[in-house]
């Protein structure tokens, strides 16, 4: 399939990344990378209690580097909305997971403080996704004069 959009590959890759993230949220693939023996043998800081954050930080860095050109190409409103969405989502997913590791070490796994950290983490991820959806709709609206969404409700 040929397309005139030189950023088509970026959009396609972005859709695959979000497909993976949605599957990961459902099946917790990243939990495989939580290896207590690695944490203990390397004497990692409690910030890295959840060892998956280490490759996560690397992947976010690679993604940011690879997508800089794409991001700079976007209209300023869409660009800033994408950035805000990414900061909120990654801040929740990675940042609060790192804070959560410290909370688990200092206060225990099932305390109100640790559970509040988990709730904040999940909330930030959801808010980041909502901002991203808004950003995508804003971007789409800049491409056309009108967008029509049809929602079909099946009758039972």
Is the predicted pLDDT of residue 89 greater than 60, yes or no?
yes
pLDDT confidence bin for 142, thresholds 50/70/90: confident
pLDDT confidence bin for 3, thresholds 50/70/90: low
Bigger pLDDT: 37 vs 129: 129
Residue 153, phi-psi category: left (phi > 0), alpha (psi -120 to 50), beta (remainder)? beta
What is d(CA 71, CA 82) in angstroms, rounded to the nearest whole number?
A: 8
pLDDT confidence bin for 30, thresholds 50/70/90: confident
Is the predicted pLDDT of residue 58 greater than 90, yes or no?
yes
What is d(CA 95, CA 98) in angstroms, rounded to the nearest whole number?
A: 5
Mean local confidence (pLDDT), 32-57: 83
- DSSP single-letter state for residue 19: H
pLDDT confidence bin for 80, thresholds 50/70/90: very high
Structural Rg of the chain based on CA atoms:
19
Is the predicted pLDDT of residue 79 greater than 90, yes or no?
yes
Bigger pLDDT: 2 vs 84: 84
Mean pLDDT value across the chain: 89
Bigger pLDDT: 76 vs 35: 76
pLDDT confidence bin for 35, thresholds 50/70/90: confident
């Amino acid at each position: 399939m040929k397309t005139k959009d030189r950023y088509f590959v970026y959009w396609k890759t972005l859709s695959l990344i979000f497909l993976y993230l949605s599957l990961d949220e459902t099946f917790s693939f990243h939990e495989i990378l939580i290896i207590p023996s690695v944490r203990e043998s390397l004497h990692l800081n409690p910030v890295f209690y959840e060892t998956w954050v280490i490759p996560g930080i690397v992947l976010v860095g690679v993604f940011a580097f690879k997508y800089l050109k794409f991001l700079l190409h976007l209209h300023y409103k869409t660009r800033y909305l994408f950035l805000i969405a990414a900061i909120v989502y990654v801040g929740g997913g990675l940042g609060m997971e790192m804070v959560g590791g410290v909370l688990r070490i200092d206060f225990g796994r099932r305390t109100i403080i640790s559970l509040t950290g988990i709730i904040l983490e999940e909330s930030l991820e959801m808010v980041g996704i909502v901002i991203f959806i808004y950003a995508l709709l804003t971007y789409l609206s800049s491409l056309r004069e009108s967008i029509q969404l049809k929602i079909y409700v099946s009758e039972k």
